[in-house]
Amino acid sequence: MSKKIVVLAGDGVGPEVTGEAVRVLKAVSTSHKVGLEFEDALIGGAAYDAAGSPLPDATVAACKASVGILLGAVGGPKWADIPVQHRPEQGLLAIRKALGLFANLRPVTTVPELAAASPLKPEKLKGVDILVIRELTGGIYFGKRGRTAEAAFDTCEYTTAEIERVCRVAGKLAMARRRKVTSVDKANVLDTSRLWRDVATRVFREEFPQLTVEHLLVDAAAMHLLSRPADFDVMVTENMFGDILTDEASMLAGSMGLLPSASLGAGNGPGLYEPIHGSAPDIAGQGVANPCGTILSAAMLLRYSCGAEDAARRIEAAVAGALQAGARTRDIAAPGARDWLGTKAFTDVVLRHLGAH
Ligand code: NAD
Ligand code: IPM
Ligand code: MN
């Protein structure tokens, strides 16, 4: 039976990295008989330019009819001054909401061979294996907002049910890992965070009594991520804190270009898979973007939306193999090195490690 994957390439480096990840998916689909089929659809600035909306109805319909969605990135200076509702980023927020993708899984791991690419000392990076679960359809991103000439406001709201469901995802995933959860909030200041801490405490105590649970305030969590990153297992937090902490955490791995993500909802609907980075306007069009985050997102797509765990692991092993063999894109190359590879040439090495090239 064929499985339809919608590819939302988007803007900036988006098409460059999704193009390479699709080559990898096609290779694995053949070798592991996954039966993937691909359909392109518009999102972000590219969709606004072509169809007048950052999320055309046709894109939503195609996504709803798919088993999974691979997304590159949206946004860029070209669309900085258009009305808020048409901005590329609104398209991304709207597709997450339309598909009910409330749990955003962002794994952060380190490869010893890449230690030099991280600003942290190598001994801090040993054994780092964190899974950040970022709440994705609530909080300040989706609350009431407004702006006049002299003032503006954004509101952060959370319900008990929204916090419960994302904590349950974190609890289940932690049970299959090292059985530790860190919940991050700002309960010393925000009412939404006080609710978050109460609900998280109850859900983990009543439903996951085997877990070790830690609560951190977000400012301290930002510091602990750098001072003791290997101590963390699963981290669960609200939408904006998760956005910020994972860009910070990408520096443990060595580059924004390395981290993948999976956005999942309840039930069997399609998941959305995208690197955590943006459209990288400073390097777009040069063929130098690191495709690892997107290729590893494709592996998560196979794992969570296709039930193809073996194929997912093959891709993860091939990326690790390419890095261990010394293949580097510019962002993770040694300072001054000249032997780094472009997006496509790096992916060729990954394909060779898959035994498919
Ligand atoms: P960014 O993530 O695009 O770039 C931050 C830095 O990381 C840049 O120096 C960039 O060159 C580097 N970088 C990012 N991806 C890389 C890759 N694959 N390989 C090598 N280097 C990489 O963040 P920004 O510059 O703050 O935002 C640019 C635009 O992207 C904005 O319009 C923003 O709204 C949008 N954005 C979109 C997403 C998304 O689509 N999911 C995520 C973040 C930002
Ligand atoms: C991300 C991005 C998005 C977010 C933006 C582009 C809306 O930063 O996916 O991390 O903040 O969720
Ligand atoms: Mn972000």
Tens of pLDDT, residue by residue over 85-102, are 999 999 999 999 999 999
Does the pLDDT at position 357 exceed 70?
no
- pLDDT given for residue 55 in this prediction: 98
Q: Is the dihedral of CA 333, 314, 33, 7 positive or negative?
A: negative
1 CA to middle of ligand 2, Å?
A: 34
Interaxial angle between packed helices 14-31 and 309-324, expressed in degrees from 0 to 180 and rounded to the nearest 10: 120
First to last CA, the chain: 26
CATH class, range 1-99+269-357:
alpha beta
Q: Looking at residues 49-68, what average pLDDT do you find? A: 98
pLDDT tens sequence across 222-281: 999 999 999 999 999 999 999 999 999 999 999 999 999 999 999 999 999 999 999 999
> Of the listed 141, 158, 273, 304, which one is catalytic?
141
Domain extent listing, the chain:
1-99+269-357, 103-254
**How many CB atoms within 10 Å of residue 210?**
9
- pLDDT given for residue 218 in this prediction: 99
Confidence of residue 122 (pLDDT cuts 50, 70, 90): very high
Does the pLDDT at position 129 exceed 80?
yes
What global pTM score does this model have?
0.98
> Of the listed 40, 191, 198, 219, which one is catalytic?
219
Q: Which atom of ligand 2 is nearest to the CA of 92?
A: 7
Q: Output the CATH code of domain 103-254.
A: 3.40.718.10
Q: Which atom of ligand 2 is nearest to the CA of 247?
A: 10
163-193 b/e with 16+ CB inside 10 Å = b?
Answer: bebbbbbbbebbeeeeeebbbbbbbeebebb
Give the C-alpha separation, 14 to 133, whole Å: 23
Name the residue of 18, 93, 256, 347 to mutate for ligand 1: max ligand atoms within 8 A of Cβ. Answer: 256
User: Around ion ligand 3, which residues have CB less than 5 A away?
Assistant: 243
Q: Pick the residue with more confidence: 139 or 268?
A: 139
Q: State whether the beta carbon of 283 lies less than 6 angstroms from ligand 1.
A: yes
- pLDDT given for residue 1 in this prediction: 72
Does the pLDDT at position 356 exceed 60?
no
Q: Tell me, yes or no, if the two domains 1-99+269-357 and 103-254 fold the same way.
A: yes
- pLDDT given for residue 275 in this prediction: 98
pLDDT tens sequence across 149-192: 999 999 999 999 999 999 999 999 999 999 999 999 999 999 99
Report the mean per-residue pLDDT for the chain.
97
pLDDT tens sequence across 180-192: 999 999 999 999 9
Residue 100 and residue 60 in contact, taking contact as beta carbons nearer than 8 Å: no
Does the pLDDT at position 341 exceed 80?
yes
Give the C-alpha separation, 89 to 77, whole Å: 12
Name the residue of 277, 282, 290 to mutate for ligand 1: max ligand atoms within 8 A of Cβ. Answer: 277
Q: Has 243 been annotated as catalytic?
A: yes
Nearest CA to ligand 2 atom 12: 243
Which ligand has an atom closest to residue 279 CA?
1
